[in-house]
Copies of this chain bind each other. A is one copy, B any other.
């Protein structure tokens, strides 16, 4: 029997974990500097919480957990049920599909104890029964940060500051694509198909992936007339500075309330960025940005690296009624999600992980015999007092084997212990790279530093 793991899931080795933790810690530190507080929610939610929140396709992609005990008896005499109804009979719980719906559920359930505006972050795995393929997993981590309970556009500005700081620290050059859902609604109205807003966003969302012609073909299939599609042309072709584009757009959408509101929000956002000292050079107005999720109602963002071709590595937006589905209407919020797996791929491809990220242990004690090992255990404990990560080779193996272990593990120092070192109460510390050696008195180890 050869052990394996389910398709689309992954084991993470120590090196991968160190790299992943470098990403998570960087993101987490920035979130904390901005005063965001961490929460966690359970892996399992009631299916009643999850179903119907991600569209029909999403319902199918939820991992459902079989009820404990005699689940089969719930199916007795139910041959007339649909598959979905039968599933409801045998499964009450499912694995979370994203962090947004559980967050909305959390806010509603704990509203009495939350101080609003509530700034929270959450870094946890999510699960989707998607067909596994290159770069798409059935278990992956999301890093979400949201401000809920304020309509101030300064919240959007703050998230743009956070994006800039995270990618500065990760040393990845990025550009932030910005649009507004109200503008998209205005465009749908402007071309005479206000009820096609969703189809329009779904199609436009593919603009970069499949190109303008294919998007237009999809719109035609969704029932848009050639006349409507022609009306879109001047919008795709807007030119000039962001300010100039927005002025022209306001003119095109002048008869649509929603569209004008969206343009005004975008204008205000860019002005606030300036007032707050946010570097605007990497902020791009992108009218082809739609984002698939239906709960967005205002600003939407996507971040891409300018260094290599790669999809969005961060995305999010403003939602006005996310908690409404759980009975708490009119709580506006804005949030973004960092895609840890894609950021990992970018850093790998660009070779930008910090050096020495593989190194866990500073010093390995190499011992000539069991008495030496016991002496080494005492010395190692003293070195750890000063924060030095120290291992003792525990087996009574040949010195060559012990040194090979240090090499394979990439341990930069070994402390060699033989009779002589024990007798003189010292350790012989050797730099594995330079070959340099020096004696250190055992009595000094508690305060010893390596560099």
A63-86 interface bits toward B, Cβ cutoff 8 Å, 1 = contact, 0 = none: 111101011100100000001001
In the complex, which of the residues A35, A110, A371, A390 has the most CB atoms of chain B within 10 Å of its own CB atom?
A35
| Minimum CB–CB distance for A44 against chain B, Å | 5
**Which of the residues B13, B35, B37, B65 comes within 8 Å of A64, measured between beta carbons?**
B65
Partner-binding segment picked from A1-9, A222-230, A305-313? A1-9
Main SS at interface, chain A: mixed
Q: Give bound CA distance, A371 to B364, whole Å.
A: 58
Chain B CB within 8 A of A90 CB: yes
A100-112 interface bits toward B, Cβ cutoff 8 Å, 1 = contact, 0 = none: 0000011011100
Q: Give bound CA distance, A40 to B15, whole Å.
A: 11
**Which of the residues B3, B10, B117 comes within 8 Å of A42, measured between beta carbons?**
B10
Chain B CB within 8 A of A360 CB: yes
Quick one: given A109-B4, A275-B374, A378-B276, are A12 and B35 in contact (CB under 8 Å)?
A: no
Chain B CB within 8 A of A113 CB: yes
Quick one: given A1-B327, A68-B60, are A44 and B127 in contact (CB under 8 Å)?
A: yes
Closest B residue, CB atoms, query A47: B6
| Minimum CB–CB distance for A137 against chain B, Å | 9
Closest B residue, CB atoms, query A30: B384
Chain B CB within 8 A of A155 CB: yes
Chain B residues in 8 Å Cβ range of A387: 33
Chain B CB within 8 A of A91 CB: yes
Partner-binding segment picked from A233-241, A282-290, A341-349, A392-400? A392-400
Q: Give bound CA distance, A90 to B72, whole Å.
A: 10
Quick one: given A38-B17, A120-B14, are A277 and B68 in contact (CB under 8 Å)?
A: no
Q: Are B110 and A83 in contact (CB under 8 A)?
A: no
Q: Are B109 and A3 in contact (CB under 8 A)?
A: yes
| Minimum CB–CB distance for A100 against chain B, Å | 14
Chain B CB within 8 A of A177 CB: no
Q: Give bound CA distance, A93 to B5, whole Å.
A: 9
Partner-binding segment picked from A146-154, A255-263, A431-439? A146-154
Quick one: given A11-B109, A68-B60, A377-B277, are A1 and B326 in contact (CB under 8 Å)?
A: yes
**Which of the residues B1, B17, B41, B86 comes within 8 Å of A72, measured between beta carbons?**
B86
| Minimum CB–CB distance for A133 against chain B, Å | 15
Chain B residues in 8 Å Cβ range of A64: 65-66
Chain B CB within 8 A of A26 CB: no
Quick one: given A110-B11, A390-B35, are A405 and B115 in contact (CB under 8 Å)?
A: yes
Q: Are B389 and A113 in contact (CB under 8 A)?
A: no
Q: Are A46 and B394 in contact (CB under 8 A)?
A: no
Q: Give bound CA distance, A151 to B151, whole Å.
A: 62
Q: Give bound CA distance, A277 to B377, whole Å.
A: 8
Chain B residues in 8 Å Cβ range of A391: 34-35, 119
Q: Are A106 and B154 in contact (CB under 8 A)?
A: no
Chain B residues in 8 Å Cβ range of A355: none
Chain B residues in 8 Å Cβ range of A68: 60-61, 63, 129
| Minimum CB–CB distance for A262 against chain B, Å | 20
* A–B pairs, 12, beta carbons within 8 Å: A1-B48, A3-B105, A6-B93, A14-B39, A35-B360, A60-B68, A64-B66, A72-B75, A117-B395, A147-B394, A161-B377, A272-B374
* Other contacts beyond A17-B40, A44-B139: 6, CB < 8 A: A11-B40, A36-B360, A61-B68, A154-B394, A161-B381, A165-B384
The 7 A-B residue pairs with the shortest CB-CB distance in the complex, in nearest-first order: A35-B391, A9-B42, A14-B37, A275-B374, A276-B377, A35-B361, A152-B394
